[in-house]
């Protein structure tokens, strides 16, 4: 039981990273019908930005503002920075290629992904970088014989809270309705007076910013980061997106959390080495039964 | 009452196809004008050109004397053009209420919440079924209900002109009746100006004051509705009377 | 045949005299080809070329092979495969494991690796082949990861985990073993040469065209008699087999393989090769592979920046040349681009020489082997002259009844029109007849046989051809290639006879071209034969679609709003043309909105409203039928 609960919590934590990154994939896909392969690398870049904030001047920010203050600054800086990076990526790598069709867009996205991950390597080096231990809140809470680090608890609360906020924003506000309407039918949305260019800016800012948050939290939880972090997380998050049904906001969250928990439980009770195989097999099985994911809409092509 | 809408020499191409070949029409404030014609005559294209969803090759469109071409498409809603597109195009996975609220998007900085609420109440009076189903997803409504929603979504912004594209399309006769009753009611109660594109010529001429008949991108006949109703040429334009052969 | 057709033909032939015909193979291209071959042969002997650079040449070869293999799946069929390294890995591991454990000779493992990789592809892709675009993409990524992780986890001690399989031998030809870099260099390029010859033959055959049809428009391909599922699977199997061969060669050269060689990044690189080169372009592929291998070599001194530049280069490339370095050119190359041997130099001469009986085969018969000349299209028995009958057909979508207990009868040699207001359910009924939908209840009887629920490509082979309301051509293929999809469903030559260009295949290809040319000329588009379909004006695209349908030699031709988007003159010509088809022995079913057309040419009109039949009869009766007038004009107030 203890193992189950611990693995479940671990799964929720990593699942919340997947979910945050998956949200970015899904938002961009929903509006643009584009798989932003560079998204995973923006996540990694976010992690490095947070790292940089925490190591500047030998941890100056942490010294001045305290551990939690440092964490807050790192999160904010990474989210803002990566949000802007998302807009830049859209502007230089996607907007000029939209007209050329889907396949060139995929290659452009892959190119951007390679560019960013190798850019990280060029700047911060090919080896693992460690988040400074002084900057990571180190308290541990115990509930009976279950131990949980405070940072993990905060990660969960903040991630789930932010997801709830995004959910509320997209599903419950007029602005969110405008985003969903644009994703469904751009022409009719225009008739309502919605400027789809603004919606594009929104998804390319908010999606990467959420990813950056996950990136910083991943660094804080696991301590070390590496330049190609984006590939592994990005791939899992993309899987989660498809699992939930791409273009669907609640789908991405559920897909991400589900994937994380499944993976962790499988790791805890069956085998760590085979967990990814298990995840992909589940994905394939689900797609065979439900070709558009768990919550995906039915798409029928009109003939 | 002055001129509300004037279209002059409008030409629209789809690739190599000339969809509109120089159309001119005019509409007064508070009027209902019907644009009729067989499928493919260019009726929908005309409305899309007014809303700037299609590229205009040449010609002008003016609303109260203001040239619409200087506005990007997404600003038209805010200057008073509401377009209820063909096939209803409600946002299927949004609720009825969200659909209605999106209708206010273009004017959300011009009209206050109370006024919107008042208009919404009026729409719910026009279509009580929308009030009942306000939390339901729009895609689960029947065709007729979706049409009502689409019209409501257009009305909620209190537009200067309502462009209605084939509101009776694919509806059962009893619903067609209902829709046209409401169109008349909208006009009578709030004086909304309506440019109505229809396949159902008799119904449309029943509510309109003036009518234009399009044939392959040109205006073939126009005149007061009462007069067009009696015109044999209208039937011919629809049923291809010119080419009927004797039975073999 | 009607006067018009002859006039049109005459007009076309006249207009052609002024057009230049590209008939000879451009000598520039031959010279270029020869230069490339000489360069490749002489490369190891160039003074600056040491063993290092010979190895680079070898790796270019590996990536050419891999690029070609993915090109079949991604380039020819347009399937989103981002896990192709899996098949490469299967080939390499098959070779490694069987050599190390069972000492099977490397050369014998070459075909075995191909078969295992192909078989693996068949097994894993057949349950998921129906997935669309992005969903297929993630599944292929998943397959790639599953294979890599499996190799990493050393199941049954076979793969030796992260260290990989070591001690793999070199290929041994008996007389001498392939050992040195130079040996390997020639070894792989000879194999590439053979593969390219085979692929070129395949590309320019019924199989290659079918793949392209699917890439261009899957629904139109299925509706024109292409068995979409089988051809997609075939592409995966062939692509995987080629990747398996590459895996074998790679393993025997490196003598060690590990999971690191088969990462997602590797699959992405292959994807980029195909798109950098140009979809479906074999020379483009070679350039793409060369770019991918040589680019990082050139930037070797900037070691850690080389991939940075590479990523940026991909983006820049896609911005400025989204079609690739060397896209496959189809337009303007003339019929020789089709790869059919023995054609006269003058394409007009070919057209004039087509024996009429070649075209007028009874439908369902094999045009290649049919020797009996039939002037009439109709051969099967018709019961009371009824060609097609829908019996009590109902089609429901959820709660919506689109077609309601509908009976439709189509008589032989007549033009029947199905009319009704928008949204009446006409197109739905149409899709039931042509097999896109399976009716909720009721039957469709064609020539006395029940065809309910058959797949569209089977129905077309039985003799029902269709056109689409919104025109669904194969936009980036030439007009003649578009029409060549018609005879596809009656032809038989498969992969091997196409690769080997067997005489029976050559004969069949010629026959297909004859039928296509005849039909293209019949609709008056002969002069556009080598233009891309998407470049035709709208009205001509309609005619092209009709030609494509006619080329299936149907018994019944079903046209969905053929006159929409046509101007008055074009409509007039279309009507004349449709009438002429009746004299040729076809039966027509029309869905039409333009009442002038309906009233002008129909023998029989069936009126549909709200999914039900409300009237039927000859046009003059329908014109005055009060219910019809009501359905169209609305009720009298």
Task: State the pLDDT confidence band at C374, using cuts at 50, 70 and 90.
Answer: very low
At residue C11, does pLDDT exceed 70? no
Q: Is C602 helix (H, G, I), strand (E, B) or coil?
A: coil
Q: Which residue has the tokens 């910083």?
A: A216
Tell me how many domains chain A contains.
Answer: 1
Tell me, what's the pLDDT at C561?
A: 86
Domain residue limits at A113: 16-255
Per-residue pLDDT tens over the stretch A213-232: 999 999 999 989 999 899 88
Of A114, A122, A303, the CB nearest to C310: A114
A256 neighbors A237 (Cβ within 8 angstroms): yes
A121 domain-assigned: yes
pLDDT score for C8:
46
Span A47-69, average pLDDT = 89
Residue C371 has pLDDT above 80, yes or no: no
Residue B173 CA to residue B161 CA, distance in Å, equals 27
CA distance B83 to chain A (A): 6
Contact A193 B72 (CB under 8 A): no
pLDDT of residue B16: 65
**Min distance A129 CA to chain C CA atoms (Å):** 17
Residue in the block written with tokens 């830049």: A88
Residue C159 has pLDDT above 80, yes or no: yes
Q: What is the pLDDT of residue A303?
A: 42
Helix (H) or strand (E) holding C598: helix C595-601
Stretch C213-232: mean pLDDT, rounded? 94
By C-alpha distance, the chain C residue nearest B14 is C538
Question: Shortest CB distance from B203 goes to which of C400, C599, C634?
Answer: C634
Write the residue in B72, B92, B106 that is nearest to A192 by C-beta. Answer: B106
Q: Is the dihedral of CA B143, B144, B150, B152 positive or negative?
A: negative
Determine the pLDDT at residue B238. Answer: 65
Shortest distance between the Cα of C428 and any Cα of chain B, in A, equals 13
Which of B172-176, C294-298, C423-427, C464-468 has maximum average pLDDT? C464-468
Average the pLDDT over A54-69 and give the result: 87
Give per-residue pLDDT as tens, C288-315: 999 888 888 887 777 677 788 888 988 9
Structure tokens at C267: 């699959």
Q: Give residue C604's pLDDT.
A: 93
CA of A182: which chain B residue's CA is closest? Answer: B91
Query: Span C125-151, mean pLDDT?
Result: 92
Q: Confirm whether A195 is domain-assigned.
A: yes
**Interface touch A97/C137, C-beta < 8 Å:** no
Closest Cα in chain B to A196? B74
Q: In terms of CA atoms, which chain C residue is nearest residue A283? A: C139
- Say what the pTM is: 0.86
* A301 within domain boundaries: no
Neighbours of chain C (3+ CB pairs under 8 A): A, B
Query: Domain extents for chain C?
Result: 59-266, 386-633
What is residue C536's predicted lDDT score, i.e. its pLDDT? Answer: 85
Widest Cα–Cα separation across chain C: 97
A157 falls in which pLDDT band (50, 70, 90)? very high
Residue A11 lies in a domain: no
- Residue corresponding to tokens 């949204």: C423
Whether residue A184 and residue B93 make contact (CB cut-off 8 A), yes or no, is: yes
Nearest CA in chain B to A298: B93
* B217 to chain A, closest Cα gap in Å: 22
Is the predicted pLDDT of residue C362 greater than 60, yes or no?
no
Tell me the three state secondary structure of residue C417: strand
Torsion of CA A263, A267, A269, A274, to 10 degrees: 100
Question: What value does the mean pLDDT of chain B take?
Answer: 88
pLDDT per residue as tens digits for the range C15-61: 444 444 444 456 787 888 899 999 999 999 888 888 999 999 999 99
- pLDDT attached to residue C3: 47
Q: Is C603 near chain B, with CB under 8 Å? A: yes
Query: CB distance B92–A184 less than 8 Å?
Result: yes
**Range in A111-115, C173-177, C205-209 with the lowest mean pLDDT:** C173-177
Strands A146-149 and A224-225: unpaired
| Beta strands per DSSP E along chain A | 129-130, 140-143, 146-149, 224-225
pLDDT band at C2 (very low <50, low <70, confident <90, very high): very low
Pick from A11-25, A264-278, C8-22, C211-225: least confident:
C8-22
Which of C350-354, C475-479, C536-540 has the highest average model confidence (pLDDT)?
C475-479
**Does residue A161 sit within a domain?**
yes
Separation CA B58–CA A263 (nearest Å) = 60
Angle, alpha carbons C558-C563-C565 (nearest 5°): 130
Q: Report the candidate in C81, C73, C67 with the shortest Cα–Cα distance to residue C137.
A: C81
Handedness of CA A106, A108, A114, A116 (dihedral sign): negative
Rounded CA separation A230/A41 (Å): 4
| Residue B74 burial (CB count, 10 A) | 20
* A79, part of any domain: yes
State whether C149 and A112 contact (CB < 8 Å).
no
- Does the distance separating the beta carbons of A122 and C319 come in below 8 Å? no
- CATH number of the domain at C386-633, please? 3.40.50.300
């Amino acid at each position: 039981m203890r193992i189950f609960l611990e693995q479940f919590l671990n799964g929720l934590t990593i699942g919340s990273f997947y979910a945050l990154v998956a949200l970015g994939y899904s938002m961009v896909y929903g509006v643009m019908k584009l798989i932003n392969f560079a998204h995973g690398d923006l996540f990694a870049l976010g992690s490095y930005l947070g790292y940089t904030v925490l190591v500047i001047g030998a941890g100056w920010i942490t010294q001045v503002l305290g551990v939690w203050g440092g964490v807050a600054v790192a999160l904010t800086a990474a989210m803002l920075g990566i949000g802007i990076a998302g807009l830049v990526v859209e502007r230089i790598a996607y907007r000029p290629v939209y007209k050329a069709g889907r396949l060139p867009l995929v290659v452009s996205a892959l190119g951007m992904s390679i560019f960013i991950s190798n850019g990280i390597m060029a700047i911060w080096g090919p080896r693992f970088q460690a988040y400074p231990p002084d900057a990571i809140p180190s308290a541990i809470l115990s509930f009976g014989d279950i131990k949980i680090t405070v940072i993990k608890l905060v990660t969960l609360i903040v991630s789930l809270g932010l997801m709830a906020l995004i959910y509320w924003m997209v599903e419950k506000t007029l602005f969110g309705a405008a985003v969903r309407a644009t994703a469904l039918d751009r022409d009719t949305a225009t008739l309502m007076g919605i400027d789809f260019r603004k919606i594009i800016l929104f998804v390319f800012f908010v999606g990467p910013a959420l990813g950056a948050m996950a990136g910083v939290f991943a660094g804080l939880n696991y301590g070390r980061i590496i330049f190609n972090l984006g590939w592994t997380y990005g791939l899992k998050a993309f899987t989660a997106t498809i699992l939930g049904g791409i273009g669907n906001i609640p789908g991405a969250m559920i897909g991400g959390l589900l994937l994380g928990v499944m993976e962790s439980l499988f790791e805890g009770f069956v085998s760590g080495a085979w967990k990814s195989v298990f995840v992909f097999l589940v994905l394939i099985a689900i797609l065979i039964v439900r070709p558009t994911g768990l919550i995906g809409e039915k798409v029928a092509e009109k003939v | 009452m002055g001129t509300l809408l004037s279209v002059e020499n409008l030409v629209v191409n789809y690739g190599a196809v000339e969809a509109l070949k120089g159309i001119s029409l005019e509409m007064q404030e508070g009027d209902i004008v019907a644009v009729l014609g067989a499928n493919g005559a260019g009726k929908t294209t005309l409305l899309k050109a007014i809303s700037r969803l299609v590229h205009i090759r040449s010609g002008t469109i003016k609303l109260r004397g203001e040239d619409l071409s200087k506005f990007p498409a997404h600003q038209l809603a805010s200057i008073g053009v509401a377009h209820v597109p063909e096939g209803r195009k409600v946002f299927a996975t949004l609720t009825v209420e969200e659909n209605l609220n999106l209708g206010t998007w273009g004017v959300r900085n011009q009209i206050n919440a109370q006024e919107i609420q008042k208009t919404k109440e009026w729409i719910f009076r026009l279509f009580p079924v929308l009030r009942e189903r306000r939390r339901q997803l729009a895609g689960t409504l029947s065709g007729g209900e979706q049409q009502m929603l689409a019209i409501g979504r257009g009305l909620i912004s209190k537009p200067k002109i309502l462009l209605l594209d084939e509101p009776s399309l694919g509806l059962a006769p009893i619903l067609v009746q209902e829709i046209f009753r409401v169109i008349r009611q909208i006009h009578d109660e709030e004086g909304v100006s309506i440019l109505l594109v229809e396949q159902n010529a008799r119904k449309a001429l029943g509510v309109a004051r003036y009518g234009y008949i399009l044939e392959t991108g040109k205006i073939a006949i126009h005149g007061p509705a009462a007069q067009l109703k009696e015109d044999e040429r209208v039937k011919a334009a629809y049923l291809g009377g010119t080419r009927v052969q004797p039975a073999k | 045949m009607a006067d018009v057709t002859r006039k049109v033909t005459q007009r076309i032939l006249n207009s052609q005299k002024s057009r230049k015909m590209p008939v000879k193979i451009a000598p520039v291209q031959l010279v270029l080809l020869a230069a490339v071959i000489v360069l490749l042969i002489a490369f190891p002997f160039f003074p600056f070329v040491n063993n290092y650079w010979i190895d680079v040449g070898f790796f270019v070869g590996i990536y050419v092979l891999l690029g070609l293999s993915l090109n079949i799946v991604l380039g020819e069929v347009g399937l989103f495969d981002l896990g192709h390294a899996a098949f490469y890995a299967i080939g390499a591991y098959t070779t490694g494991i069987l050599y190390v454990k069972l000492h099977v000779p490397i050369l014998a493992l070459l075909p075995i690796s191909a078969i295992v990789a192909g078989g693996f592809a068949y097994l894993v892709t057949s349950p998921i082949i129906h997935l669309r675009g992005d969903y297929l993409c993630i599944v292929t990524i998943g397959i790639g990861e599953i294979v890599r992780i499996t190799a990493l986890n050393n199941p049954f001690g076979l793969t030796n985990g992260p260290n990989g399989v070591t001690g793999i031998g070199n290929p041994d030809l008996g007389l001498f073993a392939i050992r040195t870099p130079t040996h390997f260099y020639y070894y792989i390029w000879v194999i590439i040469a053979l593969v390219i010859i085979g692929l070129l033959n395949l590309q320019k055959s019924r199989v290659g065209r079918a793949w392209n049809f699917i890439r261009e428009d899957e629904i139109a391909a299925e509706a024109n008699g292409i068995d979409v599922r089988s051809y997609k699977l075939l592409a995966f199997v062939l692509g995987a087999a080629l990747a398996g061969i590459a895996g074998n060669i790679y393993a025997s050269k490196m003598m060690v393989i590990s999971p690191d060689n088969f990462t997602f990044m590797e699959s992405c690189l292959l994807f980029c090769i195909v798109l950098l080169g140009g979809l479906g372009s074999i020379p483009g592929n070679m350039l793409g592979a060369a770019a991918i291998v040589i680019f990082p070599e050139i930037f070797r001194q900037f070691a850690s920046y080389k991939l940075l530049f590479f990523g940026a280069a991909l983006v820049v490339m896609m911005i400025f040349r989204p079609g690739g370095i060397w896209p496959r050119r189809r337009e303007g190359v003339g019929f020789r681009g089709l790869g059919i041997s023995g054609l006269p130099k003058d394409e007009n001469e070919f057209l004039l020489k087509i024996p009429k009986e070649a075209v007028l085969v009874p439908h369902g018969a094999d045009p290649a082997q049919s020797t009996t000349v039939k002037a009439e299209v109709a051969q099967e028995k018709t019961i009371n002259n009824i060609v097609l009958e829908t019996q009590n057909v109902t089609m429901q979508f959820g709660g919506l009844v689109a077609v309601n207990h509908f009976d439709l009868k189509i008589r032989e040699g007549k033009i029947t029109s199905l009319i009704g207001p928008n949204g009446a359910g006409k197109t739905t009924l149409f899709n039931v007849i042509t097999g896109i939908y399976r009716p909720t209840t009721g039957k469709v009887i064609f020539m006395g046989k029940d065809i309910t629920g058959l797949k569209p490509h089977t129905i077309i082979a039985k003799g029902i051809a269709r056109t689409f309301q919104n025109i669904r051509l194969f936009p980036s293929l030439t007009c003649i290639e578009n029409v060549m999809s018609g005879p596809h469903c009656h032809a038989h030559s498969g992969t091997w006879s196409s690769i080997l260009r067997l005489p029976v295949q050559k004969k069949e290809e010629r026959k297909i071209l004859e039928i296509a040319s005849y039909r293209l000329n019949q609709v008056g588009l002969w002069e556009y034969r080598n233009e891309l379909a998407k470049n035709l004006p709208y009205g001509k695209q309609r005619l092209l679609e009709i030609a494509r349908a006619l080329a299936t030699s149907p018994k019944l031709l079903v046209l969905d709003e053929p006159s929409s988007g046509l101007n008055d003159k074009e409509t007039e010509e279309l009507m004349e043309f449709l009438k002429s088809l009746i004299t040729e022995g076809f039966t027509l079913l029309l869905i039409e909105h333009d009442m002038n057309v309906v009233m002008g040419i129909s023998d029989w009109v069936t009126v549909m409203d709200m999914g039900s039949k409300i009237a039927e009869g000859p046009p003059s009766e329908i014109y005055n039928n009060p219910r019809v007038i009501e359905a169209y004009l609305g009720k009298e107030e």
